[in-house]
Amino acid sequence: MYHKCVGSFEEGNSNPNLIRVFLKLGRAYRSIGVWDDSIASLEKGLSITESIEDERIGNQLKGLAKQSLGITYLEKCESVPERNDELVRKAIFWSEAAFNLQHDATVELLLDLAQEHYYLGDT
């Protein structure tokens, strides 16, 4: 259904609802462990945020996309049998980018950051 919804938007559309669809699509892929498709969908949504004229809405959507990317990389890391510091670093990068963008960081985002730093042994 998300793919069908994406197809209903015009090419080059910078509608905030299109971004929201890509974020939901990314989360859906993440929930079934299809990491690369999740990351691609989230990155696509993030790339569209650059064309949003309303800065407040654009920043809000950027923050959500970056936070979702951080969570996705962390969950991908947790799914592999051996520790993968590169995935953790990517998770930290995106979570910190979301944190720096959001003036009112959520408890969930702060807990994600704490967990990501924990994986690297950074208390």
Q: What are phi and psi of 52, to 5 degrees?
A: -75, 125
Query: Which pLDDT score, from 0 to 100, does residue 11 have?
Result: 66
Percent of the chain with pLDDT over 90: 33
Query: Which pLDDT score, from 0 to 100, does residue 65 have?
Result: 94
Query: Which pLDDT score, from 0 to 100, does residue 27 have?
Result: 95
> Rounded distance, CA 51 to CA 63, Å?
15
Query: Which pLDDT score, from 0 to 100, does residue 21 have?
Result: 92
Query: Which pLDDT score, from 0 to 100, does residue 105 have?
Result: 63
**pLDDT (tens digit, 9 = 90+) per residue, 70-91?**
999 989 988 887 878 888 889 8
- Which residue ranges form the domains of the chain, and what is each CATH number? 2-119 (1.25.40.10)
Which residues of the chain are modeled with pLDDT < 70? 10-12, 102-105
For residues 49 and 20, the answer to whether their CB atoms sit within 8 Å is no
